[in-house]
Structure 1
Amino acid sequence: MADAREIDLATWSRAGQFQLFRTYDRPQFATTARVDVTQLMTRGKPRGVSPYRAFIHAIGSGVHAVPALKMRFVGERVLEYDTISLSATVPRPGDSFGYAYIPYFQDWAAFDESCKAIIEETARGVDLGANTGERHDLAYLSCLPWLDFTALDNALPGPDDCIPRFSWGKLVEGPDGRWSCAVAVQVHHALVDGLQVGQFFEAAQASLDRFAEPA
């Protein structure tokens, strides 16, 4: 598990929101917005870039750009982790899947190499590999390539689950030749507000736009 620092609730600017939303039966909220994937699909993919791994990296970039998305609470303690691992669903033969645990690296080439190896290993496995609560330094990721969805909600075990969920759907080309994709973000309101969700989308979009640059 990654290193973490404890947040001082006595001086934390969001202590009031934290205490309020901890009392809610359903404190998580979900937001879906579209991201532009034109550079990924028209420049990156022809060079051999995997859109699936590029999205995992973009989500990781968004998470690490926003301190609130690296925060988790355990009881009344709020911790901010240095790094967050990306737990992505990986398809297996038939209709099953497994969970991969992918370390985040800012450098795309290093991340892509590591991510590819972990995904291939997970695809060959048989154990689901689900997190049973022993780790908090995670973000959950899933891809729904069959659907260009407009909204998405996740199964949650209860009101104390504060691990954020990120999902992305089908990559679609518009009549103007530009490509886009729906991305859903589900977070715990005790830790994250709409402002931080917006900051996530900005950083994730910047990561996807990197493929406009020459390889």
Structure 2
Amino acid sequence: MEKYELIDMQKFDRADYFYYFMGVGTTIEFTAKIDVTKMIERCINDSLNFQAVMLYQLYKAINTIENFKYDVLEGNLIKWDKIVPTFSSMNKNSKLFFILYADMQETCVEYNEQYRKTVEEYANSTTIVPQGTLPENIFNVSCIPWLHFEHFSSNSKTMENKVAKMITFGKYEKIDGCFVLPLTIQISHAIADGYHVALFFEKLQEELNLM
């Protein structure tokens, strides 16, 4: 299991917010457009899979924000050392999607290869979680590559003692000479606010600009 730190609620400066928003089950969500022009160029030049590279960049960005690493484990608030992405893939015959996990690697190129092997292995899956179990220290990533959307929302019944962490990105389009991609992040208000979401988008764009 990934390393984590147990949070002392007596010293946790967000304790009141955590208890309040866990009680009412509030999830906040924001959609922003990000510039993926340099990322597309890198994928083409190095023959990398777009979703694999996006997963890697999301992993790098989200782990710079401490609040996004908070979670509830066995009834206790914890902070993971790192959180890692799951991702959606599709059975091309049935057109049904499923959720996969590929072990995170040190570099984007290495993760791209791990992603490729995982997708190939489970390409004909007929169940939603074909690997059986997923790591506990995850954030969920979904891709809707057929649609350039303005906003995305996915609502489900609040699960007791759970915190939501979900990212959805869509189809990129060329606008004013740049390729822009819509990305929605949904996260439990118990662990994060709009300020932390803004930091995430800022960090993600910085990472993409460095490619």
Fold shared by both chains (TM-score > 0.5) = yes
CA apart distance, 1:134: 7.7
Against the structure 1 CA distance between its residues 135 and 11, is the aligned structure 2 distance closer, same or farther, given a 3 Å change threshold?
same
CA distance in 1, matches of 2:169, 2:153: 12
Assess if the C-alpha contact under 8 Å between 2:68 and 2:192 holds in 1: yes
CA distance in 1, matches of 2:130, 2:19: 29
1:121-200 equivalence runs, <5 A: 121-129=121-129, 136-160=136-160, 161-174=162-175, 176-200=176-200
Assess if the C-alpha contact under 8 Å between 1:37 and 1:181 holds in 2: yes
SS in 1 for 2:145: coil
Assess if the C-alpha contact under 8 Å between 1:98 and 1:128 holds in 2: yes
1:38-117 equivalence runs, <5 A: 38-74=37-73, 76-93=75-92, 94-117=94-117
- Deviation larger for 132-141 or 48-57: 132-141
The CA deviation string for residues 73-117 of structure 1, in whole angstroms up to 9 with x for no partner, is: 246511111222311111112311221112333521222221221
Letter in 1 for 2:174: E
Assess if the C-alpha contact under 8 Å between 1:58 and 1:207 holds in 2: yes
The answer to whether structure 1 residue 34 and structure 2 residue 8 are counterparts is: no
Letter in 1 for 2:79: E
CA distance in 2, matches of 1:207, 1:119: 25
CA distance in 2, matches of 1:134, 1:36: 31
Against the structure 1 CA distance between its residues 121 and 133, is the aligned structure 2 distance closer, same or farther, given a 3 Å change threshold?
closer
Letter in 2 for 1:67: E
Assess if the C-alpha contact under 8 Å between 1:54 and 1:208 holds in 2: no
CA distance in 2, matches of 1:196, 1:124: 38
Alignment TM-score, normalising by the size of structure 2: 0.89
In the alignment, which residue of structure 2 is the partner of 1:206?
206
Q: Percent identity?
A: 21
Letter in 2 for 1:11: K
SS in 2 for 1:123: coil
Tell me the number of residue pairs that the alignment of Structure 1 and Structure 2 aligns. 209
SS in 2 for 1:22: helix
- Deviation larger for 198-207 or 180-189: 198-207
Letter in 1 for 2:150: T
CA distance in 2, matches of 1:208, 1:134: 27
Structure 2: unaligned runs, 5 residues or longer:
none
CA apart distance, 1:63: 1.8
The alignment's C-alpha RMSD in Å is 2.2
Q: Runs of at least 4 residues of structure 1 off by over 4 A?
A: 130-135
